[in-house]
Amino acid sequence: MNLNHFLNAPLEERAKFVWQHGHCLTVRSHGDYSIMLYHTGKFFAEVWYNSLDEYLITIRGFNSCQLLDFYLDEITLPVLFEV
């Protein structure tokens, strides 16, 4: 699925795609929301979840590096090469 198709898909289809093809990179909090960042291989997806009422708010996809700024302090990359 490409980003354009993802953005125009219903929420249920976006959720299914992220759960099947996404790799969770990190989670951040914003007020009452937990926001999980996934990488799908072609683009990033943010899953917005209401922590208090326990329901999925939305899932948005993007490929802009600027939107990753929120996560720079949260992401730790594994060591790829050991010296």
The domain spans of the chain are 3-71
The residues with which 53 forms a beta bridge, in sequence order, are none
* Residue among 57, 10, 5, 9 at smallest CA distance from 36: 57
Q: Residue 66 gets which letter from DSSP? A: G
- d(Cα 83, Cα 80) in Å, to the nearest integer? 10
Assign 80 a pLDDT band (cuts: 50, 70, 90): very low
Fold of 3-71: Viral Envelope Glycoprotein; domain 2 (3.30.67)
Per-residue model confidence as pLDDT tens digits over 11-68: 999 999 999 999 998 898 889 999 999 999 999 999 999 988 889 999 999 998 888 8
Tokens describing residue 17: 């795609």
The residues with which 56 forms a beta bridge, in sequence order, are 49
- For the entire predicted model, the pTM comes to 0.82
